[in-house]
């Protein structure tokens, strides 16, 4: 059986296309060699478990260490019962040691100790009995909460000073978040914890990165080498553009094309195939995407994503916990400027937050298709303006992403009426003051010609103590239209000032001229 693109669980080089796991954590072996305690963190589905398992196997195979990888996830159900959590973790250590280590390297029988020191005493006994130095990788450490997490971290910290003789010489804690977040998971009270962090012995924090463009090409190249199926010019680069190298997305896109869409091997994978696969992933809301979407309701996530959707600037502290948290979740890019991590996440976020709007739109998408197959965008704007007058004030008041409500409302309306026949692509970033939309409407004319109608739209809001954003919006729209080589576009300005005229008086559609001389449809709402 040939290998395949993996989207569930750790990768195996026998069964899956994969980037060599040890290459994903190049700094880790040196930290183990320094007898370091360190943290490995990355968003879900980026290959943490695969990399740590491979590292443990390699360290043991070289004959110097007894290295073990195991998961703490089973102890999540223990809650604040730290005794039960300690016993669950020790059970996982024994189970995994039986499959990963030779008999003489496995732990001795655990002795009965007080619940608060079970882990420390057991690891000390194992370190004294083992003929090699112990290296332990605690995966899914952030599954623990409250008193259970405090107990585990404090016991590791207590054994740290004696690690060269009678405790694991190196420990890695692996999870979604950096060690700075463990304080919050443990209860968040520095006075009760006695320190800013209950794990202040870590030497380094390693973040498992996304795939590089070369790694995406290498991964897809493995499929070509085994099946003969090529990727058309530009397709691999487009896959990287859509995913920004996020490992699950890179695999999921290719799997969608190869397995679910079943593009035959003699046929190359094209950019069009990848676009179809992207749309299918977004609509299906696979488990990975759904788990990310569920985070959007959290206040600390909303605090970052809200201004991002609205294009508004926001003031951040030099070190902002919420920003780091959202970055650790993988929702935003790992480096400045603040932006959604990749176009697929951007699409998921916008659709999830505008889904209730889509449900409330009663307009029939078929009514906007012209006889020749084109999309009647002027009619869409006219009907949206009427719908906005009737529903806008209520929807803005009730939306939980209040600062981005007009943008989400218009995006939701357009998604509903375009759905099934075209595509809405979105761009937004903190501080730009705008949201840009690009609508693509492919159709076939009566004579069989294939065409793609494109519409560009920019959304801005007029807020209290600000001037009318019309002039700035027209300049920005000109630049956006230059990118797509379009001769006209639409600017939507939503007046969100408390003293704004009533919605029926301020809502209107007119035509203005941009600084570059383009005719622009202006929608005020």
170-204 core/surface letters (b: 16 or more CB in 10 A; e: else): bbbbbbbbbbbbbbebbbeeeeebeeebbbebbee
Q: Is residue 447 part of a domain?
A: yes
Number of compact structural domains in the chain: 3
Q: Which of 48-57, 219-228, 297-306 has the lowest mean pLDDT?
A: 297-306
Q: Are residues 155 and 84 in the same domain?
A: yes
DSSP state letter for 136: E
Q: Are residues 228 and 191 in the same domain?
A: no
> What does the alpha-carbon distance between residue 467 and residue 510 come to, in Å, rounded to a whole number?
19
* pLDDT at residue 199 tops 70: no
Which of 183, 207, 231 delimits the end of a domain? 207
Q: Is residue 404 part of a domain?
A: yes
Q: Which of 215-229, 270-284, 314-328, 382-396 has the lowest mean pLDDT?
A: 314-328
> What does the alpha-carbon distance between residue 357 and residue 409 come to, in Å, rounded to a whole number?
6
Q: Are residues 253 and 373 in the same domain?
A: no
Q: What is the DSSP string of 247-291?
A: HHHHHHHHHIIIIIS---TTSPB-HHHHHHHHHHHHHHT-HHHHH
The tokens describing 446, both together, are 């009566």
* pLDDT at residue 390 tops 70: yes
Q: Is residue 90 part of a domain?
A: yes
Which of 159, 186, 207 delimits the end of a domain? 207
Q: Are residues 112 and 253 in the same domain?
A: no
Q: Are residues 201 and 257 in the same domain?
A: no
> What does the alpha-carbon distance between residue 478 and residue 518 come to, in Å, rounded to a whole number?
8
Give residue-wise pLDDT tens across range 365-385.
999 999 999 999 999 999 999
**Could you tell me how far CA 237 lies from the centroid of its own chain?**
20
Give residue-wise pLDDT tens across range 8-45.
889 999 999 999 999 999 999 999 999 999 999 999 88
Average pLDDT, the chain: 91
Q: Are residues 375 and 263 in the same domain?
A: no
| Phi, psi angle pair for 432, to nearest 5° | -80, -20
What pTM value is reported for the model? 0.87
Give residue-wise pLDDT tens across range 115-133.
889 999 999 999 999 999 9
- How confident is the model at residue 399, as a pLDDT? 75
Q: Is residue 11 part of a domain?
A: no
| Percentage of residues in the chain having pLDDT higher than 70 | 94
Q: Are residues 195 and 79 in the same domain?
A: yes
The tokens describing 484, both together, are 């797509």
Q: Return the CATH number at 238.
A: 1.10.8
Give residue-wise pLDDT tens across range 138-174.
999 989 988 999 999 999 999 999 998 899 999 999 9
| Percentage of residues in the chain having pLDDT higher than 90 | 71
Q: Are residues 149 and 115 in the same domain?
A: yes
Using 50, 70 and 90 to split pLDDT, how confident is the model at 270? Answer: very high
Residue 107 belongs to domain spanning: 21-207
Residue 137: exposure state from Cβ atoms within 10 A (0-12, 13-18, ≥19): buried
Q: Return the CATH number at 126.
A: 3.40.50.300
Q: Is residue 73 part of a domain?
A: yes
Q: Is residue 232 part of a domain?
A: yes
Q: Are residues 107 and 255 in the same domain?
A: no
Q: Are residues 244 and 262 in the same domain?
A: yes
Rounded mean pLDDT, 36-63: 94
Which of 147, 173, 207 delimits the end of a domain? 207
Reported in sequence order, the residue ranges of 88-169 that DSSP labels E, i.e. its strands, are 134-139
Q: Are residues 176 and 248 in the same domain?
A: no
Q: Is residue 293 part of a domain?
A: no
Using 50, 70 and 90 to split pLDDT, how confident is the model at 197? Answer: low
The tokens describing 282, both together, are 């977004």
Please name the residue that has the structure tokens 């209520």: 394
Q: Is residue 246 part of a domain?
A: yes
């Amino acid at each position: 059986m040939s290998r395949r693109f993996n989207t569930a669980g750790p990768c195996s080089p026998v069964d899956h296309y994969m980037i060599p796991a040890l290459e994903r954590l190049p700094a880790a072996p040196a930290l183990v060699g320094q007898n370091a305690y360190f943290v490995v963190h990355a968003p879900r589905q980026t290959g943490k478990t695969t990399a740590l398992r491979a590292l443990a196997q390699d360290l043991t195979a070289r004959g110097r260490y007894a290295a073990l990888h195991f998961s703490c996830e089973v102890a999540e159900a223990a809650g604040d019962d730290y005794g039960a959590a300690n016993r669950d973790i020790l059970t996982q250590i024994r189970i995994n040691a039986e499959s990963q280590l030779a008999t003489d390297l496995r732990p001795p029988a655990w002795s009965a100790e007080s619940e608060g020191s079970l882990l420390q005493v057991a690891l000390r006994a194992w370190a004294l009995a083992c003929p090699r130095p112990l290296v332990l990788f605690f995966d899914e450490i952030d599954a623990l909460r409250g008193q259970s997490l405090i107990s585990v971290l404090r016991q590791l910290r207590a054994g740290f000073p004696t690690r060269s003789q009678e405790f694991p010489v190196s420990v890695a804690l692996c999870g979604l978040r950096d060690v700075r977040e463990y304080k919050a998971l443990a209860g968040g009270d520095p006075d009760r914890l006695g320190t800013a962090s209950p794990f202040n012995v870590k030497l380094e924090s390693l973040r498992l990165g996304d795939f590089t463009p070369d790694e995406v090409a290498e991964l897809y190249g493995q499929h070509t080498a085994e099946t003969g199926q090529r990727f058309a010019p530009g397709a691999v680069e487009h896959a990287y553009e859509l995913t920004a190298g996020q490992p699950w997305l890179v695999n999921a896109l290719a799997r969608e094309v190869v397995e679910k869409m079943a593009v035959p091997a003699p046929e190359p994978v094209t950019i069009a195939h990848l676009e179809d696969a992207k749309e299918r992933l977004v609509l299906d809301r696979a488990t990975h995407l759904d788990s990310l979407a569920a985070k959007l309701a959290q206040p600390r996530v909303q605090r970052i994503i809200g201004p991002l959707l609205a294009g508004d600037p926001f003031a951040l502290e030099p070190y902002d916990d919420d920003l780091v948290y959202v970055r650790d979740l993988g929702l935003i890019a790992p480096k400045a400027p603040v932006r959604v991590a990749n176009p697929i996440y951007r699409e998921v976020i916008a659709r999830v937050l505008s889904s209730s709007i889509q449900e409330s739109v009663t307009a029939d998408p078929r009514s906007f298709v012209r006889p020749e197959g084109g999309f009647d965008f002027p009619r869409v704007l006219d009907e949206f303006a009427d719908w906005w007058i009737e529903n806008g004030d209520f929807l803005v008041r009730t939306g939980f992403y209040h600062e981005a409500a007009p943008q989400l409302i218009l995006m939701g309306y357009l998604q509903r009426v375009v759905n099934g026949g075209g595509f809405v692509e979105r761009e937004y970033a903190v501080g730009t003051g705008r949201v840009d939309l690009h609508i693509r409407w492919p159709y076939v004319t009566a004579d069989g010609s294939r065409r793609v109608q494109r519409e560009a739209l920019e959304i801005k809001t007029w807020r209290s103590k600000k001037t009318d954003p019309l002039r700035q919006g027209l300049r920005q729209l000109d630049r956006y239209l230059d990118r797509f080589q379009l001769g006209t576009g639409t600017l939507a300005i939503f007046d969100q000032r408390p003293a704004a005229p009533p919605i029926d008086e301020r809502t209107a559609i007119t035509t203005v001229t941009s600084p570059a001389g383009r005719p622009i449809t202006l929608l005020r709402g």
